[in-house]
Amino acid sequence: MLIDSHCHLDFPDFAEERDAIITRARQAGIGLMLTISTRLDQFDRVLAVAEAYPDIYCTVGVHPHEADDHPDVTAAKLVALASHPKVVGIGETGLDYFYDHSDREAQKRCFLAHITAARDTGLPVIIHTRDADDDTAAILDAEMAKGKFKGLLHCFSSGHALAELAVRHDMMVSFSGILTFNKARGVQESAVALPMGNLLVETDAPYLAPVPLRGKRNEPSYVVHTAAFLAKLKGVGVGEITEQTTQNFLRLFDKVPREAVADRRAA
């Protein structure tokens, strides 16, 4: 089975046909989906989606775009919310200097709170980084020196040096539909170079639908196209990418009950 390691199933884009979208994902062989939190005041609806379906889990966190609206976010608050059995990760968080929708210092403070929560809970931190490679690298190096934590760079579109740094820290690097875009040569080169044991695939749905569906609203079933493209880049079969990325996900998100995984494999 494949796993969509990052999607936003609580978004209004899916409200009217969420059941159909999830059914299509299952029919496409997507065994698990991870729906991602972006605002704490909307966490309840993220959790509600995860609670409603046995093959969906979720995270808790604040997207860097939303950091200005969360000046009081603390690691303790994130840790408390992460105690729910369906919450298996912290984030998404990080730095986005492309849009600068939030003050950069606010983004950094928020990012650090999430890293502390990840360290305290043992859950992985999901990192969004755009046009902020140097600061992201500096924070990861400094925080890892204080104490190890698990994590991944989601929707990877950064320079290869940041991907290498993630691998040195035993983190995962997740590829979205961007990987399939004709102009994404640097991202594709990183995918080729990175070890198989550090790779994940995702949709980031409803955004970034892969070729041949680029321009459409994305959904979890479309992750099969990204996985197939990754397999071609790596020179391996789709089955190998499917199995490897699934094992990588389960190693990273080890709060997901193994009986749930066995049930989905048998489905």
CATH number of the CATH domain containing 14: 3.20.20.140
Residue 90 — very low, low, confident or very high, per pLDDT cuts 50/70/90?
Answer: very high
- What is the span of the domain harbouring residue 25? 2-266
In the structure, how many helices (H) and strands (E) does the chain have?
A: 10, 8
Please give the Cα distance from 266 to 111 (Å, whole number). 38
* Res 210: pLDDT: 98
Which H or E run includes 129?
strand 125-130
pLDDT of residue 260 exceeding 80 = no
Nearest to 226 by CA among 204, 256, 247: 204
* Res 266: pLDDT: 67
136 within 8 A of 127, measured Cβ to Cβ = yes
Q: Which amino acid is at 208?
A: L
Q: Round the average pLDDT of the chain to a whole number and report it.
A: 97
220 within 8 A of 30, measured Cβ to Cβ = yes
Please give the Cα distance from 64 to 67 (Å, whole number). 5
What are the tens digits of pLDDT across the range 9-42? 999 999 999 999 999 999 999 999 999 999 999 9
Before 92, cis peptide (omega within 30)?
A: yes
Residue with the bigger pLDDT between 9 and 259: it is 9
* Tally of structural domains, the chain: 1
- What's the Cα-to-Cα distance from 87 to each of 19, 80, 219, 222, rounded to whole Å? 21, 11, 21, 24
